[in-house]
């Protein structure tokens, strides 16, 4: 899966904490099944047939204290959890959920369930 290792290394250059969180997140996703990564300048998309999750490093764009990594998941429903930093409905019936990740412990069973749900919907 990490055929684009060089791109991933460049994406996380200087952001070691973010990289560790990303690797823990990949471990959690791979339990559901295979994942393709698409690395761009601003984010990494996790894909099956279509993208189901995105990660980005807020410290690249925002000043002050920020989460080392933000996980974005798309669902057809608004998830009621108070853990979400922000939920946006860019299109009717499409909800984009943003979750700040500060430590590996943040990638708990609830996050794994959300990842599985998004992974299944992207198949």
CA 36 to mean position of chain CA atoms: 13
For the chain, how far is it from start to end, CA to CA, in angstroms? 17
Domains of the chain by range and CATH? 5-121 (3.90.1150)
CA separation for the pair 83, 71 (Å, rounded): 12
Q: Is the dihedral of CA 34, 111, 98, 102 positive or negative?
A: negative
CA separation for the pair 114, 79 (Å, rounded): 9
The string of pLDDT tens digits covering residues 2-60 is 568 899 999 999 999 999 999 999 999 987 888 999 999 999 999 999 999 999 999 88
CA 26 to mean position of chain CA atoms: 9
The string of pLDDT tens digits covering residues 72-119 is 999 999 999 999 999 999 999 999 999 999 999 999 999 999 999 999
Partners of residue 73 on adjacent β-strands: 53, 97
CA separation for the pair 13, 18 (Å, rounded): 10
This prediction's pTM = 0.92
DSSP 118: H
CA separation for the pair 119, 32 (Å, rounded): 7
Q: Which helix (H) or strand (E) holds 112?
A: helix 109-121
Q: What is the pLDDT of residue 16?
A: 96
Residues of the chain with pLDDT > 70: what percent?
Answer: 98
């Amino acid at each position: 899966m990490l055929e684009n290792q060089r791109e991933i290394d460049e994406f996380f250059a200087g952001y070691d904490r973010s990289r560790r969180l990303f690797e823990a997140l990949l471990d959690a996703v791979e339990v559901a099944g295979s994942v393709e990564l698409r690395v761009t300048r601003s984010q990494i998309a996790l894909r099956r047939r279509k993208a189901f999750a995105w990660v980005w490093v807020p410290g690249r764009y925002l000043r002050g204290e920020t989460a080392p990594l933000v996980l974005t998941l798309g669902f057809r429903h608004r998830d009621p959890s108070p853990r979400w930093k922000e939920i946006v409905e860019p299109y009717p019936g499409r909800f984009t959920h943003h979750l700040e990740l500060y430590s590996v412990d943040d990638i708990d069973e609830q996050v794994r369930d959300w990842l599985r749900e998004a992974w299944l919907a992207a198949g």
